[in-house]
Amino acid sequence: MENRTEQERIARVYRQWHGGGALPRYAWHRPEVLQQSAARARVFAAMFGKTVGLDVKALRVLDVGCGSGNFLRQLIDWGAQPANLTGTELLPERLDTARRTMSGEVHWHLGGLDALADGGFDLVTAHTVFSSILDDATRRTLATDMWRKLRPGGWAMMFDFRYDNPRNHNVRKVTRAELHRLWPAARHCHRTLLLAPPLARLLNGLPYLVPEALGALVPPLRSHFVFMARKDG
């Protein structure tokens, strides 16, 4: 019941957010958004090189909370086969957008992970999903479910916030200690990235090397992380 209540809260918050005035700050054409998209892709590629490998053609991927499919679209651009990709989402309208804008070979699932095969994926990912979950028990349940969907030797991947947002009480940071509790794997990788969005917006208009240098030279200003953990077996 707690998980169902938390899922309903998350769905309500996302619907309100998408109908509000915050979206223009994240428009794709804004310079800081383009810079952060490029930085995210660079870090993801570097992490792949250390974990699942750079040849993603045969990679079987489950993206939890896939939204409109941005990460799966990135994987297709890198060479992944659409038929090997699965996206799950709580909001039917977001899943409809993903279906309309992506290859018909991608598999889509509305709801939780129970209907998906255990051990059927090489990579299971969640992008800014755990920070949207305020309830600890729901976080633990989702982490366990993601782990169960991985084959032995597969990797779980999380991209999320490392700091709380004092202006948004509907999100909560994910600490490195919590990541290790949720996925106590022998092999793992962790990278911080992205200049904090408020600071990036403040620097909008300056030469792009300014925010790049700040993010590179001052690690505490990085607001996000990528964490990957390997399932033994």
More confidently predicted of 192 and 18: 192
Please tell me the predicted confidence (pLDDT) of residue 6: 80
Q: Is 2 left (phi over 0), alpha (psi -120 to 50) or beta?
A: alpha
Q: Whole-number mean pLDDT of the chain?
A: 91
Please tell me the predicted confidence (pLDDT) of residue 64: 97
Q: How confident is the model at residue 36 (pLDDT cuts 50, 70, 90)?
A: confident
Tokens of 86: 């699965």
Q: Per the structure, how many domains does the chain have?
A: 1
Share of the chain above pLDDT 90, in %: 71
- pLDDT at residue 17 tops 80: no
The length of the chain is 233
Cβ pair 59, 85 in contact under 8 A: no
Mean pLDDT within 144-159? 97
Please tell me the predicted confidence (pLDDT) of residue 30: 79
Q: How confident is the model at residue 187 (pLDDT cuts 50, 70, 90)?
A: very high
Going by C-alpha positions, the residue among 96, 155, 127 that lies closest to residue 224 is 127
Expressed as residue numbers, the domain containing 124 is: 2-21+29-230
Model's pTM, two decimal places? 0.90
- Express each pLDDT in 197-231 by its tens digit: 889 888 888 888 898 899 999 999 999 999 999 99
Mean pLDDT within 183-205? 92
Please tell me the predicted confidence (pLDDT) of residue 22: 56
Please tell me the predicted confidence (pLDDT) of residue 13: 80
157: domain CATH number? 3.40.50.150
Q: How confident is the model at residue 20 (pLDDT cuts 50, 70, 90)?
A: low
